[in-house]
Every structure is written in C-alpha cells, then in structure tokens.
Structure 1
Amino acid sequence: MFLQRSAVAIARRAAVAPALRRSLATTAIRRDAVSDPASKKIKTFHEIKTVDDLIGPGAAPGTVPTDLEQSTGLERLEILGKMEGVDIFDMRPLDASRKGTVENPVLVRSAGEEQYAGCTGVPADSHTVIWLGLSKERPVERCPECGSVYKMEYVGPADDHHGHHHHGPEEPKSFANYVKPEYW
C-alpha cells in the first residue's frame, strides 16, 4: 500500500516538474547611457554646486543600484551629507528638558519662512502634542497648555529685497495686538 502511494506521488511530481523548472530571464539595456567616465564619478557633499550635481550616475548594467547611485535631489543631498557627517535637515529633537520662557525661549531652527513645532509639555509627555505655527512675521509662540515659549530662529537664505512683494493674507488681529509692549 505504501509503495503504491509513493509511486503515484512520484508520477505526479514528474509530470509537473518540467513546467515548474522553467526559468525567467530578463535583461534591461540602458540605451541613453552616457559613455563619459567623468560623469560616472560620485561627487562629494562639498562638490555639490548646482541642482544638476544632485543627479546620480545610476548603476552599471546588470547590477542592482544602491541608494547612493539611484537617488536624486534632496534625498541625494541628505545621503551625501550623512556620509560626511553633516545632518542636512537637523533632525535633532527640540530641547524638552526645560520650559521655555519669554527671556529664554526654546529655539526652533528653520530654513523656511514658517515652521511647526510640537509641544508635549514640561516635563516631556505631560500633555498631548499641541502644534504651534511659527513664522518670520510671528517668530514667538506660547503653548496654551503648559505655557512653554518657542522662538523660530531663521537660518535660511537672506531676503534679496528685489521688488518681490509677496504679501500674504494679513494676520488676524487679537487682543494681543492691543497690549502695551511693556506688558509683554
């Protein structure tokens, strides 16, 4: 009985096996590859001067590209910076060891015109996250829950003042607009 079952199982496998052993082989050919070997050199972080320098060389034909070879733009700039020990986006958490005051606020660095900061309270995680919007026009914000003060430190490019008048909507007025400056 046992031999009959095993003979049937072997016969089934033999009939199906040739169909399963068929392999797939694909080949990708880059027809627009640049033959200049100087363009294949990976530039370092300090050699990046223009946006065109942030395009990777790609992988050699027949190989799988690494993140460094295939990344472009800001991702490539971040990878090159990390390779040289530079944190491009400054991903360190804010100082949560103290409560920010008006005289000594918690500094939030920003390369853009506005930045959001999440306050979790003092001591840390004493309340749910409250998001505060900081901008160049209004760089100081106070958390309504714990009272911690945050100030945006602008580290982006200097304003060129070449007649670009990008006036957004006017900031809505509140009671704080009418408080005397000496009460701040």
Structure 2
Amino acid sequence: MFSRSVIATARRAAVAQGFKPVVARRAFSASVVARGGHSHHHEPEVTGPGTLKPLSEIKVASDLVGPGAQPGTVPTDLEQATGLERLEILGKMEGIDVFNMKPLDASRLGTMEDPIIALSAGEEHYVGCTGFPADSHVTMWLTLSRSRPIERCTECGNVIKMEYIGAEDAHSDAPEDPKTMADFVKKEYWYN
C-alpha cells in the first residue's frame, strides 16, 4: 500500500538507529504458510501476548493488537495485523464486511424524495458517482457528512444520502464543516 520501497524504509530505520546503512543484496519476500489444516472460518489458536477476540468483544484500541509470531517463524496476517487491518480480518473471519465495500445501488437515479442511501459509521463519507446508467460520466466525488447528509451529483443529478450508523457520541469532537455557497442560500430555499 505504501509507495516507499522496503529497501528505502530499511535504510532509514538503520540510519535512525545509528547503524551504517547497508543495501540489501536480495529482494525481501515472504510466503504463505498453511498451519494446522484449519479452514479460514475456524478460530486459530493464538499464543503470546495478544489474544484473539471475536468482533463483538472489540471495545478499545488495545483489543486490535495482534500477538505477533512465535520466535523463528514468519507471522501470518492475523498474527501481525493491528488497528483497522486487524478489525477487517476479524470481520472477514466471521463473514462480516466491516467496511461495506459493496457498490451503491446503481439501478436507478436517486432523487430528493428517494435518494440512494450510503451507510457510514464515520463523521464524513466520500462517494464516487459515475452516473446513471453506471459509467455514463467520469467519477464525481461527493462529500457527505452528518451535518450535510444529502448531496447531488453536478454531472447527472443523482442524489445520495448518508445514513449514519455509528455510535451517537463517537465523533463529538469532529470539526465543523467548511462554509460553501450552500451556507449562503436563504433558509426558505432549503430543501426539507
């Protein structure tokens, strides 16, 4: 995911630690290892400092820290993943798409009376509209937020509405939306 190469990152880390930088003579690589013949739906045995918790028991950030690999072994994704990556893996193990990566409904054009719904657990949600029918124009990015849940595509007129499904107090410290031309429209012209 990162644009930096492994070698450049390793050099920076070595210099930061006070070591003489050394260029690697071979490429870094890892291989996938099947352990114990378990299918991906069974919970693997995890030993070490971290524990494997089901998705329903994740409450604080420290619950999303993996145990790491046993000495002398290459860690699996589950053992080394932390944060949002670990949350996504735990969700997939239980058959839940945590980030809801399915495309939005493109079978119709959203209207103000019947908008296309985009579920969001965050304060803001970015949606790409490609038109109706799908792919009829270049992707137009719309920014939806809790304070401005409805947006209309300027290219095709498709209306998308954000439906917030997160905790009510989760984003109480979120910054105020920046001012746009919509803030200067008289209240009697607002859509209710």
**Structure-2-length-normalised TM-score:** 0.66
2:113 to 98, 103, 119: 103
Question: Structure 2 regions of 5+ residues with no counterpart?
Answer: 1-46
Shift in CA distance, 160/93, structure 1 to aligned 2, threshold 3 Å:
closer
Corresponding residue number in structure 1 for 2:141: 131
SS of the residue 2:168 aligns to: coil
Post-superposition Cα deviations, 1:33-52, rounded to whole Å, max 9, x if no partner, equal: xxxx6745422223323221
Aligned AA (1:157): A
Residue 23 of structure 2 is matched in structure 1 by none
CA RMSD of aligned residues (A): 2.7
SS in 1 for 2:91: helix
Higher helix share: 1
- Alpha-carbon shift at residue 136 of structure 1 (Å): 1.4
Q: Deviations over 1:96-150 (max 9, x none)?
A: 1110011110011111221111110000000111111111121111111111111
TM-score, with length taken from structure 1: 0.69
Matched, 1:56 2:72: no
In structure 1, list runs of 5 or more residues that go unmatched.
1-36
Q: CA deviation at 1:182?
A: 8.4
* Count of aligned pairs: 146
| Alignment partners' CA distance in 1, 2:183 and 2:63 | 50
Pairing 1:177–2:185 present: yes
Match of 1:11 in 2: none
Is the alpha carbon distance of 1:39 and 1:153 closer, same or farther for their aligned partners in structure 2, counting shifts above 3 Å? same
Distance change in 2, residues 1:67/1:123 (3 Å) = same
Moved over 3 A (4+): 37-41, 164-167, 172-176, 179-184
Percent identity for Structure 1 against Structure 2: 57
